[in-house]
Amino acid sequence: MLDRQMISRVIAEALRRGGDFAEIYVEEKSLTGIVCEDNQIEKVNSGRESGAGVRVVSAGNTAYAYTNDLSEEGLLKTAGIVAHAAAGAARDIELDLKEVRSGLTLPFLKVPDQFPFEDKVEALLKANEAAREAGPDIKQVTVSLADVHKQFQVANSLGEIVEDEVVRTRFVINAVASRENVIQTGFEAVGGVVGWEILDEIKVEDLARQAARRAVMMLDAKPAPAGRMTVVMSSEAGGTMVHEACGHGLEADLVQKGLSVYSGKVGQQVAASEVSVIDDSSLPKKNGTFRFDDEGTPGRKNVLIEKGVLKGYMHDRLTAQKEGVEPTGNGRRESYQHKPIPRMTNTYIAPGESDPEAIIRETAHGILVKKMGGGQVNTTTGDFVFDVQEGYIIKNGEVLYPVRGATLTGNGPKVLRNIDMVGNDLGFAIGTCGKDGQGVPVADAQPTIRIKSMTVGGTGFEDGPEIKRIRRF
Amino acid sequence: MRDRLLDAGRWAVEQARGNGVEAEAFVLHSEDLTIEVREGQVDTLKQAEEIGLGIRVFQGNRLGFSFTTDLSREALGETIRRAVESARYTADDKNNGLPEVVDGYRRMVTYDEEIERTTLEAKVEMAKQIEVVSKQEDKRIKIVESSGYEESRYSVAVVNSRGVEAFQKASYCGLYISLMAEENGEVQTGFAVEAKRHISELDPARVGREGARNAVRILGAKSAPSRPLPCILEPYVMTSFLGVLAGSFSADSVQKGKSTFKGKLGQAIASPQVTLVDDGTYEKGISSFPFDGEGWPSQRTVLVEAGTLKGFMYDAYTARKDNTVSTGNGMRSSFRGLPSVGTTNLFLTPGLSPPEKLWEDLERGMYITEVMGMHTANPISGDFSLGASGIIIEKGKLTYPVRGVTIAGNLFDFLKDIEGLGSDLRFFGGTGSPSVRVKRLSIGGE
């Protein structure tokens, strides 16, 4: 990592022509990726990347530049570019950088270097075989793994410096099943801010079988109905709903620009009183876990919604300063190539009181979501959608048959008020969240919850109660 | 830059050969500029410079790969060592190997000197003008989230141990706006974007007006009843469908059983009005380039002609597997990864009639202006179910706006159900489409 004296000189250069705040973020990482497809190890990748980004903030406006050239000359040149864009009185500063502490420890037991290539290849081949055990309907299996070992420094004109390392691992299985003219897929992923000891806790063969089972089962699924109905989301389904329905809308940059339905609602009831929403980067080993965010603020637990009442937003330094609050440790960036912005980390709806099975039993007619896919939200209107990977029809409290091709759409604040049962369980899923062209790893979770009524988008008009309505036209 | 990249590539390939492997270096240098304006001020100014080298080696039939952002000899040596090491673990696959040397490449103008010559101030002005025009266009435009200017100037070198040496410089630039319209307490969002090869083709006023209109036209939207309806898709919406469909035309998907088009060459897979082309030489396309990520020449490839499946996109590996030649689709988005089959400029060829003719005979239908969640559509099964907004068509006229509905169907049925194409071909990035009419999609609403 870079010499601290040199870092001080780069920050001073960035502020030479003015500006309120300057920062340098330096990253050195080594990455590995291996893909097994068509029953063979098809692709390998192992790379090294290093770079630094420098920013200057003046009167709330940001100038950002980055380079792969980590020599003092290269960094001063980069600082000079941002200095050029800064406004205000010229400053000549000298910094004595002090290390910021975090109360969290992240033990990485088996870092990528300690998990040999041979063992990685073996794990991939095992998973591939296990998935193919599901039978002749399985036509293709893609298994991949990736790890990153990153060292980073972030230092700023307030005299703060953080130096830390992060290990991130991921194992993903995609199975494709087909019969006659129908093709369906199944997907499972595991990963987080954890070393390869993650594979001591989770058997990749089990994951692979699960992905394959879902692909095969979906071959026989009926088309999902379309229309409004009760939705039960199982805790296994992951937290895409909370991520889209309220997570993004609670990111302070969108709130401050007036682009969130949750703007100006702190202290107000925005969800049913059963609902509490938390973002917590300090949970161990999750996909959105860290000791420090990418601005050097220590990670922590933030209660966003408590018993239905909006408590606060997720901030980076810039939005926190604008609002006159403490940064919440949500300033994240994809890499040295991006400026930090407010982002989620590990976001979840807190578990409630109900027995998950009772929630299903007490549902007369609806859809049970057992696995969610991706989603998207328009934070301004609050409208969101997400994809159902594994869904079932519930009738009179019983889970009947699987359905495919369903998407759920709703409006964030409306859906949150419409949650009428919250289970006492909690299930996590991992994902990569995209915003402003930056992808960052996140985890999200929900207990089993019931939403009284939501729009299900499927193609099965013959199947639902809506058929009457269609005939009226 | 030419010498710097080619020298690094040659040196790396030479060193790798010393290890007894065939090798290819892909070297990229890029400089990007982003100006984001908000309320008449530069909110974010971003300038970037990036360089890196990816090295692909073949130890016999085994593939290895590594990359680095450090082009010093020491770092390159280490990168080669890792690439060679990784080749010990990959499959012995006889279709692996470098592409052959080619005679040369088509001369193409892919770089606009004017981008470099235009001052930063002039670019900031363009970004500001988009915002100003959007607010003038309609007084209901209350918040402009951001408007901006972006450019990228890059150089690519591909060198391999069979003698390939390719170099080209390219650039593109673009404008965008994202905004909010408000009326009677209701808000709706809109955006507009354009990307061009030449800076002189950019028109900030056009982008500002379009962004404003896109937001205002959805004001007052309500939900719609659930039922199947004929639909018209705007070019932007259709290009995002094409983005999902593209994978099915990749030889890699076909060979691995991940494409429904496997074994269907020569068969009708779409309505007779559909012709789909991938063209890396298309003059106006921002993805045009003389060669692909493996140094193979770009070409025009007809995928679907009048509804009949005519061909697939190939890179060197998939071509060898099918005993054919690459179509120049060995794409690389950066030096950080291996080449794989991908699109260049992919587009549906336009029809003859103006887009508004597409709905004039419809008793009832939906004009779809926006979809959400396209990344959840399944490219393999073709099933999609998306959030959508649009305008209801009644008796041949656009009437009231709707939002918060879903549209669902299957992409491959969709291709067969296309009933008409407008003359309004438009590109968004490297993908282009005219307005398209499709026989029916399932609308999910109230």
The reply to whether B54 touches chain A by the CB within 8 Å rule is yes
pLDDT computed for residue B375 by the predictor: 81
Tell me phi and psi for residue B268, to 5 degrees.
-75, 115
Interface with B, mutate which of A45, A149, A220, A322 (most B CBs under 10 A): A45
Q: What is the CATH number of the domain that holds A120?
A: 3.30.2290.10
Tokens representing residue B104 in the block: 């040369």
Residues B6 and B132 both lie in one domain: yes
Say which of A38, A65, A381 has its CB closest to residue B46.
Answer: A65
Given B179, B194, B215, the domain boundary residue is: B215
Residues A147 and A95 both lie in one domain: yes
Residues A251 and A396 both lie in one domain: yes
Tokens representing residue B235 in the block: 């070019």
How many angstroms away from the CA of B86 is the closest CA of chain A?
Answer: 7
Is A233's pLDDT higher than 80? yes
Residues B111 and B136 both lie in one domain: yes
Is A407's pLDDT higher than 90? no
Residues A252 and A357 both lie in one domain: yes
- Asked if the Cβ–Cβ distance from A461 to B187 is below 8 Å, we say no
Given A155, A190, A220, the domain boundary residue is: A220
pLDDT computed for residue A460 by the predictor: 57
Say which of B187, B258, B444 has its CB closest to residue A227.
Answer: B444
Cβ pair B330, B296 in contact under 8 A: yes
Q: For residue A254, what is the nearest residue in chain B, using CA coordinates?
A: B145
pLDDT confidence band for A462 (50 / 70 / 90): very low
Say which of B45, B387, B408 has its CB closest to residue A383.
Answer: B387
Comparing CA positions, the residue from A186, A191, A150 lying closest to residue A167 is A150
Residues B380 and B411 both lie in one domain: yes
Given A195, A220, A245, the domain boundary residue is: A220
Given B215, B234, B265, the domain boundary residue is: B215
Query: Could you list the pLDDT tens digit for every one of the 446 residues in chain B?
Result: 999 999 999 999 999 999 999 999 999 999 999 999 999 999 999 999 999 999 999 999 999 999 999 999 999 999 999 999 999 999 999 999 999 888 899 999 999 999 999 999 999 999 999 999 999 999 999 999 999 999 999 999 999 999 999 999 999 999 999 999 999 988 899 999 999 999 999 999 999 999 999 999 999 998 888 889 999 999 999 999 999 999 999 999 999 988 999 999 999 999 999 999 999 999 889 999 999 999 999 999 999 999 999 999 999 999 999 999 999 999 998 999 999 999 999 999 999 999 999 999 999 999 999 998 888 888 888 889 888 999 999 999 999 999 989 899 999 999 999 999 999 999 999 999 999 999 999 998 87
Residues B243 and B171 both lie in one domain: no
Say which of B68, B189, B385 has its CB closest to residue A380.
Answer: B189
Is A471's pLDDT higher than 50? no
CA distance A280 to B261: 45
Residues B255 and B111 both lie in one domain: no
Please count the structural domains in chain A. 2
Interface with B, mutate which of A34, A82, A407 (most B CBs under 10 A): A407
Is A420's pLDDT higher than 70? yes
Say which of A41, A257, A470 has its CB closest to residue B226.
Answer: A470
Residues A70 and A113 both lie in one domain: yes
Cβ pair A280, A437 in contact under 8 A: no
Residues B283 and B194 both lie in one domain: no
pLDDT computed for residue A226 by the predictor: 84
- Asked if the Cβ–Cβ distance from B403 to A383 is below 8 Å, we say yes
Residues B191 and B252 both lie in one domain: no
The reply to whether B375 touches chain A by the CB within 8 Å rule is yes
The reply to whether B382 touches chain A by the CB within 8 Å rule is yes
The reply to whether A468 touches chain B by the CB within 8 Å rule is no
Residues A207 and A248 both lie in one domain: no
Is A352's pLDDT higher than 70? yes
DSSP 3-state of B31 = strand
Given A172, A191, A220, the domain boundary residue is: A220
DSSP 3-state of B122 = helix
> Which strands make up the sheet holding A277-280, listed edge to edge?
A309-310, A301-306, A277-280, A346-349, A438-446, A427-435
- Asked if the Cβ–Cβ distance from B380 to A185 is below 8 Å, we say yes
Residues B117 and B15 both lie in one domain: yes
Residues A415 and A343 both lie in one domain: yes
Cβ pair A382, A413 in contact under 8 A: yes
Q: What is the CATH number of the domain that holds B9?
A: 3.30.2290.10
Is A463's pLDDT higher than 60? no
Say which of A140, A259, A458 has its CB closest to residue B444.
Answer: A458
Say which of A60, A82, A405 has its CB closest to residue B385.
Answer: A405
CA distance B83 to B16: 9
Residue B395 burial (CB < 10 Å; 0-12/13-18/19+)? exposed
- Asked if the Cβ–Cβ distance from A384 to B387 is below 8 Å, we say yes
Could you tell me the pTM of the whole model?
A: 0.89
Residues B278 and B421 both lie in one domain: yes
How many angstroms away from the CA of A206 is the closest CA of chain B?
Answer: 23
Residues A131 and A267 both lie in one domain: no
- Asked if the Cβ–Cβ distance from B404 to A383 is below 8 Å, we say yes
Interface with B, mutate which of A21, A32, A43, A248 (most B CBs under 10 A): A43
Given B215, B242, B274, the domain boundary residue is: B215
Is A421's pLDDT higher than 80? yes
Residues A198 and A272 both lie in one domain: no
Please count the structural domains in chain B. 2
Most confident among A72-76, A103-107, A433-437, B373-377 (mean pLDDT): A72-76
Residues A85 and A157 both lie in one domain: yes
Is A252's pLDDT higher than 60? yes
Residues B209 and B355 both lie in one domain: no
Q: What is the pLDDT of residues B39-72, one digit of tens each?
A: 999 999 999 999 999 999 999 999 999 999 999 9
Comparing CA positions, the residue from A174, A386, A398, A164 lying closest to residue A292 is A164
- Structural domain of residue A171, as residue ranges? 4-220
Residues B193 and B225 both lie in one domain: no
CA distance B373 to B362: 27
- Asked if the Cβ–Cβ distance from B45 to A62 is below 8 Å, we say yes
The reply to whether B189 touches chain A by the CB within 8 Å rule is yes
A positions 329-358 inside 8 Å of B (CB):
337, 339
Mean pLDDT, rounded, for A420-429: 95
Residues A231 and A365 both lie in one domain: yes
Interface with A, mutate which of B81, B89, B366, B374 (most A CBs under 10 A): B89
- Asked if the Cβ–Cβ distance from B406 to A457 is below 8 Å, we say yes
- Asked if the Cβ–Cβ distance from B376 to A375 is below 8 Å, we say yes
Tokens representing residue B190 in the block: 């809109």
How many angstroms away from the CA of B337 is the closest CA of chain A?
Answer: 7
**For B210, how many CA atoms within 13 A lie in the half-sphere containing its CB?**
15
ipTM: 0.86
How many angstroms away from the CA of B110 is the closest CA of chain A?
Answer: 24
Q: What is the pLDDT of residues A86-109, one digit of tens each?
A: 777 778 888 899 999 988 888 899
CA distance B424 to B426: 6
Residues A129 and A239 both lie in one domain: no
The reply to whether A71 touches chain B by the CB within 8 Å rule is no
Tokens representing residue B128 in the block: 């500001």
How many angstroms away from the CA of B95 is the closest CA of chain A?
Answer: 11
Mean pLDDT, rounded, for A361-368: 95
Tokens representing residue B27 in the block: 């070297």
CA distance B409 to B443: 9
- Asked if the Cβ–Cβ distance from B79 to A48 is below 8 Å, we say yes
Cβ pair A59, A172 in contact under 8 A: no
More confident residue, A471 or A397: A397
- Structural domain of residue B279, as residue ranges? 221-446
Interface with A, mutate which of B376, B392, B402, B417 (most A CBs under 10 A): B376
- Asked if the Cβ–Cβ distance from B91 to A224 is below 8 Å, we say no
For β-strands A419-422 and A406-411, DSSP reports them as unpaired
Residues A214 and A245 both lie in one domain: no
Q: For residue A225, what is the nearest residue in chain B, using CA coordinates?
A: B444
pLDDT computed for residue B114 by the predictor: 97
The reply to whether B260 touches chain A by the CB within 8 Å rule is yes
The reply to whether A19 touches chain B by the CB within 8 Å rule is no
B positions 134-153 inside 8 Å of A (CB):
143, 145
Residues B227 and B288 both lie in one domain: yes
Q: What is the pLDDT of residues B318-330, one digit of tens each?
A: 999 999 999 999 9
Q: For residue B39, what is the nearest residue in chain A, using CA coordinates?
A: A257
Mean pLDDT, rounded, for A374-388: 85
pLDDT confidence band for A459 (50 / 70 / 90): low
- Asked if the Cβ–Cβ distance from B187 to A380 is below 8 Å, we say yes
Cβ pair A134, A106 in contact under 8 A: no
Q: What is the pLDDT of residues A392-404, one digit of tens each?
A: 999 999 999 999 8
CA distance A207 to A217: 15
Cβ pair A182, B378 in contact under 8 A: no
HEC readout, chain A: CCCHHHHHHHHHHHCCCCCCEEEEEEEEEEEEEEEEECCEEEEEEEEEEEEEEEEEEECCEEEEEEECCCCHHHHHHHHHHHHHHCCCCCCCCCCCCEECCCCCCCCCCCCHHHCCHHHHHHHHHHHHHHHHCCCCCEEEEEEEEEEEEEEEEEEECCCEEEEEEEEEEEEEEEEEEEECCEEEEEEEEEEECCCCCHHHHCCHHHHHHHHHHHHHHHHCCEECCCEEEEEEECHHHCCHHHHHHHHHHHEHHHHHCCCCCCCCCCCCECCCCCCCEEEECCCCCCCCCCCECCCCCECCEEEEEECCEECCCECCHHHHHHHCCCCCCCEECCCCCCCCEECCCEEEECCCCECHHHHHHCCCEEEEEEEEEEEEEECCCCEEEEEEEEEEEEECCEEEEEEECEEEEEEHHHHHHCEEEEECCCEEEEEEEEECCEEEEEEEEECCEEEEEEEEECCCCCCCCCHHHHHHC
